[in-house]
Amino acid sequence: MYQWVHRAAQILDNAAGETGPQVRRHYQGLLGAMQRWRAQAGALEPAVQHFIKVTRSYWPGLFHCYMIEGLPRTNNDLEHVFGTHRYHERRTTGRKTGSPTLVVRGAARLVAAAVTQARSFSAADLATVKVADWSALRKELDRRRHNRVLQRRFRRNPELYLVGLEELLSS
């Protein structure tokens, strides 16, 4: 059992710098061997089965980091990206906590912040963006912003907000 876990770590470490499909093929071979020989693990057979089950549940996104340069391999590495963004946002705004607008615009702001850390973009890069994709993102961000406005209206005047909801329900 332990040699399988160590082998899995070696494959995922990818010291040889193989491509995503190659890493996937090696890892799939290891999982096949684990499935075939799991009875050899004795009392650890349920742990082997659990390892295989959990790995299969993560399978669709497990190998993206080998295909996309700069993509963090682990949640801890990815959390560092988010933490860095929060840190810089607090420094620039003077707030002690994260900005509430991050909830509304996080899908755009976090991605933009993470990508611009890796490289800078020119006007020519931005010109290649599809207008339909940009419009769809703007509509989604506007919808989220409107929901935040409605929450603020409720906090400022709950009675008026509830009267408006009752009118909507009665019509």
CA distances from 22 to 16, 18, 51, 70 (A): 11, 6, 21, 18
Summary mean pLDDT of the chain: 88
Residue type at position 144: R
Tell me which of 54 and 72 has the higher pLDDT: 54
Residues 61 and 97 in one domain: no
Mean pLDDT of 75-99: 84
Residue 148 has pLDDT above 90, yes or no: no
Query: Which pLDDT belongs to residue 28?
Result: 96
Residues 107 and 139 in one domain: no
SS3 72: coil
Residues 135 and 171 in one domain: yes
Domain final position from 49, 67, 85: 67
Residues 61 and 9 in one domain: yes
For the chain, what is the domain count? 3
Query: Which pLDDT belongs to residue 132?
Result: 94
Q: Domain of residue 79: give its range.
A: 72-120
Residues 56 and 99 in one domain: no
Dump pLDDT digits (tens) for 123-141.
998 888 899 998 998 999 8
Query: Which pLDDT belongs to residue 85?
Result: 82
Dump pLDDT digits (tens) for 98-118.
777 777 777 788 888 878 877
Residues 61 and 7 in one domain: yes
